Amino acid sequence: MVNVDLVISVGIWATGVGMSAVGIEMTLNPPSEKTKWGYRGAFILMGVVFVGLGVWQFDRTEKESKRLATEHQQEQLRNEGNIKYMQGQLDSVNKLLAGLTANSDPKQIATLLAGMNVQRSTLKKDTFVVCSEMEQWTKDRLKTHPFPSAADPAKATQKEIEAQNAYWQSFTSDYYTRFGPRVLAIVQQYGAKGVDVRAIEQQATYGYMPNDIVIKLRAFANRLDDNGNLKQ
Mean pLDDT of the chain: 79
pLDDT band per the 50, 70, 90 thresholds, residue 87: low
Which comes out higher in pLDDT, residue 128 or 202? 128
Q: Look up the pTM and report it.
A: 0.48
CA angle 116, 122, 127 (to 5 degrees): 165
Q: What are 52-73's pLDDT values in tens digits?
A: 888 888 888 887 777 777 767 6
DSSP lists the bridge partners of residue 224 as 230
Positive/negative CA dihedral, 171, 62, 57, 2: negative
Going by C-alpha positions, the residue among 123, 93, 134 that lies closest to residue 191 is: 123
Q: How far is CA 219 from CA 14, 121, 170, 216, 222, in A?
A: 57, 16, 28, 5, 5
The predicted structure's pLDDT at residue 85: 58
Q: How confident is the model at residue 118 (pLDDT cuts 50, 70, 90)?
A: very low
Domain layout of the chain by residue ranges: 4-60, 70-221
d(CA 59, CA 68): 14
Fill in the amino acid letter for 148.
Answer: P
